[in-house]
Amino acid sequence: SGFTVAIVGRPNVGKSTFFNRLLQERKAIVDDVSGVTRDRQYGVADWNGKSFNLIDTGGFVPDSTDVFETEIRKQVKIALDEANAVVFMCDAATGITDLDEAMSDVLRRTTKPVFLAVNKVDNHERLLEASEFYALGIEKIFFLSSMTGSGSGELLDAVAEII
Ligand code: GDP
Ligand code: MG
């Protein structure tokens, strides 16, 4: 299938962890150490008998003044140029940040389907806290833990449904 899904979101929200889990092989670099330059990675995923291309957008933000240019603009460009749908990942452990808000402002304006993936929902307490992400105003919202895999099936079902 030529259907392509881009995973976007600020650094360290868990994009590569999700990507790797979906591909079931380690193709993207998962890193907790800031300062590692990471490029985008391409893979093919299968879900519910549907096959689609997956782009893991990486990118290291060198300094805060450059954040919009280097991270958001680049990722959104990749998403809009190359993808048919976007998984916008956020981090329930840190909550909503300015960068999340800036990115959702841009993504709300695209006509492509955007799936908000609130990641790191590892337990019930996190799930309660994660409800703050409804405030981003993105209708298709999913709560998951890429670490445990919990909740990712619901997101993937929704993605597969539009292919
Ligand atoms: P990326 O920069 O968005 O690609 O994020 P990574 O996939 O490199 O992950 C950044 C950090 O978050 C790593 O230490 C991961 O192990 C961790 N991480 C990813 N998903 C989860 C999750 O669901 N729960 C928790 N607790 N940690 C996660
Ligand atoms: Mg990454």
Residue 36 has what pLDDT?
Answer: 46
59 marked as part of a ligand binding site: yes
Atom of ligand 1 nearest to the CA of 11: 2
ipTM: 0.99
53 marked as part of a ligand binding site: no
Helices (H), 83-149: 98-107, 124-129
**Distance from C-alpha of 61 to C-alpha of 38, rounded to nearest angstrom:** 10
Residue 68 has what pLDDT?
Answer: 62
Residue 7 has what pLDDT?
Answer: 94
CA-to-CA separations, 4 to 9, 63, 83, in angstroms, rounded: 17, 30, 5
Cα of 86 to ligand 2 centre, how many Å? 15
Residue 153 has what pLDDT?
Answer: 96
Residue 74 has what pLDDT?
Answer: 78
Ranges under pLDDT 70 in the chain = 1, 24-39, 59-70
User: Among 29, 30, 57, 148, which residue has the most ligand 1 atoms within 8 Å of its CB, making it the best to mutate?
Assistant: 30
Domain boundaries, the chain: 4-161
Q: Enter the pTM of the model.
A: 0.90
Fold classified for 4-161? Rossmann fold (3.40.50)
43 marked as part of a ligand binding site: no
